[in-house]
Amino acid sequence: MKNILLITLSFIITGIGYGQNNDNKIKRLSEKIEAKVIEWRRHIHQNPELSNREFETAKYIESHLKNLGIIVQTGVAKTGVVGILKGEKPGKVVALRADMDALPVTERNNLPFKSKVTSTYNGKKIGVMHACGHDSHVAILMGVAEVLSAMKKDIRGTVKFIFQPAEEGAPKGEEGGAELMVKEGVLKNPNVDAIFGLHISSGLDVGKITYKPGGIMAASQSYEINVLGKQAHGSRPWASVDPIVASVQIINGLQTIISRESELTKEGAVITVGMINAGIRSNIIPERAKIIGTIRTLDYGMQEFINRRMKEMVPDIAKSFRAEATIDIDKGYPITYNNEKLTSKMLPTIQRIAGKDNVIEIDAVTGAEDFSFFQQKVPGLYFFLGGKALDVKPEDAAGHHTPDFLLDESGFVLGVKTLASLSLDYLNQ
């Protein structure tokens, strides 16, 4: 028994020293490349690309990884890039993921690296902007790749860097994103044991990290409703079957599913209408109307109930106004679910790197992430990284997916340190 205790104590002491030594190396290497990480982010920000069209972004990442001597796979899930870094000692496989795509948003900031890119989305010409911080995710993971490639001899196992396209959703009629990456085997050869990911937050102070065991982000579904009426002159509405009036009542009805039928003390849920499109001029009642939107749920039983009620309600409301309506709801993204055991195991690492007072457990949010597809296959941990300047009030911080979205770049280095430390601690445990 005495010998066992001595061996165990020796292992613990050696492990502590090893971890502290890694922390010092990671800190030094991360701070050394901080300016480069910011430069990479600005380049990507100025040259954004929409989902499944991240061709130049992929080339930029590929060049960087190859210069580090990392094995590179390209064309994964259309434009995805995967880097494989094998340590000098055998061990498990950990994956790190960053998303690459931008959004159809016209930037309103006056940054020197402001996006001036335009594209066509849903038949409309619009600006393209990294309005959700994916540019920072890519730059941070490029930084982690540089740090860990310089620490190859300290890696017990393999690190897989996953640069993922189309997190915001593939164009209509196309596959894409994490789901397609999983389908194409990104978690195989070598087989991934755990995966980590982060998301920058424009409303969270720089230096802070938030997390939650279990469900941290909602399941997300898109829906499309098509309403068919009868066209008529605007001066003779009695001769029409007005799809706009029917659509308004459908929208009102959908909100009662949340406010009157969903058990919100169990979990939160949202039905949002993002677009209604009908008509072409003031004196014509159109024949058709289209409604599209999103559903967010944090409980699969509630998701099933809401889907069923929407499918029942939409055609019935339309019928009451003599119109016809169909509704299609896609499969969407699953709940982003942090493996409780992995979260508990790795929380001390996050607290050690960021400082215990800077790591905060939060309630679930109704945003969604297709990182959830990776978590369905292997244990995963997903957390939020602060990107708000300390002198900006939370209520004044521009939200994600908006033209004024803004990040404080001084928060990126903590992301590099944290992902690098999570990787080494997981592998070396």
Alpha carbons 418 and 369: distance in angstroms, whole number: 20
The whole-angstrom separation of Cα 133 and Cα 208 is 16
Residue 7, pLDDT above cutoff 60: no
Q: Determine whether 18 is an active site residue.
A: no
| DSSP result, 167-232 | TT-PPTT---HHHHHHHTTTTTTTTPSEEEEEEEEEEEETT-EEE-SEEEE-EEEEEEEEEE-B-E
Q: Among 287, 369, 409, 426, which one carries the catalytic annotation?
A: 409
Least confident residue range of 121-125, 156-160, 263-267, 384-388 = 121-125
Q: Lowest mean pLDDT: which of 14-28, 252-266, 401-415?
A: 14-28
* pLDDT tens digits, one per residue of 180-198: 999 999 999 999 999 999 9
Q: Quickly state the pLDDT bin for 275 (edges 50, 70, 90).
A: very high
Give yes or no: 333 in active site: yes
H or E element, residue 292:
strand 288-297
For domain 221-329, the CATH architecture is: 2-Layer Sandwich (3.30)
Query: Does 213 sit behind a cis peptide bond, omega within 30 degrees of 0 on the bond before it?
Result: no
Other C-beta atoms closer than 10 Å to the C-beta of 13 total 10
Helix (H) or strand (E) holding 163: strand 156-164
The whole-model pTM stands at: 0.90
Instruction: Count the Cβ atoms, other than its own, within 10 Å of residue 150.
Output: 16
The one catalytic residue in 223, 333, 382, 426 is: 333
- Which residues in 200-227 are b (16+ Cβ under 10 Å) and which e? bbbbbbbbbbbbbbebbbbbbbbbebbb
Report pLDDT digits (tens) over 311-321. Answer: 999 999 999 99
pLDDT digits (tens, 9 = 90+) for 381-399: 999 999 999 999 999 999 9
Domain map of the chain by residue range? 2-218+341-428, 221-329
Task: Report d(CA 83, CA 95) in Å as an integer.
Answer: 10
What are the φ and ψ backbone dihedral angles of 243, each rounded to 5 degrees? -70, -20
pLDDT at 123 (0 to 100)? 86
**Residue pair 415/164 in contact by the 8 Å Cβ criterion:** no
Q: Which fold has domain 2-218+341-428?
A: Aminopeptidase (3.40.630)
What percent of the chain is predicted at pLDDT more than 70? 95
